[in-house]
Amino acid sequence: MTRLKDFVIRQARANEYAALGKLLVSAYAGLPAMPSPREQPDYYAMLENVAARAAKPALRVFVAADEADHLLGSVDFIDDMTQYGSGGPASMVTNAVGIRLLAVDNAFRSRGVGKALTQFCIERARELGKARTVLHTTRAMQTAWTMYERLGFVRFPEIDFRQGNLDVYGFQLHLLPVVDSS
């Protein structure tokens, strides 16, 4: 568990999966220019089914929760890219971890929750000795796109794909080994 100034990041609990699914659906459906649940029902069903994703051996769902244990946001962390789950070429990326489905409850945006969850995943990737962190985003997710670039992620067009009518763009962050100066 990682404690920040007004929330903690920890692994999601099974009894939170239903609430997390609703948080994800609400966050993604509320994005301008994002296809609606009616337009992409299979995608939104996948978002909502946190339990199915969490059952994958290489996937951990992490949450940010406040001191009252309200769920502020979540992210899927995948330490084996063959289980990344987006389909396409990302599952063949080696020596990498994946970040998927970052979402922050609308009521808690602009508090650094998404950034903290992303940085948590980056540090976890470093701890695992991985060479890079990989993720996807869309133009509809402009706030996340900008945040990823500010954190040092660069475009990785080799893993771009199309989901229905939505272009999905790959990004990667090369992780440098931490050098002990002592």
Q: Is pLDDT of 179 > 90?
A: no
The confidence score (pLDDT) of residue 164 equals: 77
For residues 2 and 100, the model is more confident at 100
Pick the CATH number of 2-174 from 3.50.20.10, 3.10.450.50, 3.40.630.30, 3.90.228.20: 3.40.630.30
**Mind spelling out the 3-state secondary structure of 48-73?**
HCHHHHHCCCCEEEEEEECCCCCEEE
Query: What are 152-177's pLDDT values in tens digits?
Result: 999 999 999 888 778 889 999 999 76
Q: Residue ranges per domain, the chain? A: 2-174
pLDDT score of 88: 73
CB atoms within 10 A of CB 88: 16
CA 41 to CA 43: how far, in whole Å?
A: 5
Give residue-wise pLDDT tens across range 23-73: 999 999 998 888 889 998 999 999 999 999 999 999 999 999 998 999 999
Average pLDDT over every residue of 72-84: 94
Predicted pLDDT of residue 44: 94
Decide: residue 63, CB within 10 A, 0-12 exposed, 13-18 middle, 19+ buried. buried
pLDDT score at 2: 55
pLDDT for position 113: 95
**Where residue 150 falls among pLDDT bands split at 50, 70, 90?**
very high
69 Ramachandran zone, left/alpha/beta (phi>0; psi -120 to 50): left
Q: How far apart are CA 59 and CA 178, in angstroms?
A: 24
Q: What is the mean pLDDT of residues 116-139?
A: 95
Q: Where does residue 85 fall: left (phi above 0), alpha (psi -120 to 50 degrees), or beta otherwise?
A: left
Cβ atoms 163, 40 nearer than 8 A: yes
In which region does residue 19 sit, left (phi positive, over 0), alpha (psi from -120 to 50) or beta (all else)? Answer: alpha
Cβ 146 vs Cβ 178: under 8 Å: no
Q: How do residues 101-116 score in pLDDT, each as one tens digit? A: 999 998 888 889 999 9
pTM above 0.85, yes or no: yes
pLDDT for res 127: 94
In Å, what is the CA distance from 136 to each residue of 18, 87, 154, 163? 24, 11, 11, 12
> Of the candidates 148, 81, 77, which has an alpha carbon nearest to the alpha carbon of residue 114?
148
Give the mean model confidence (pLDDT) for residues 113-141.
94
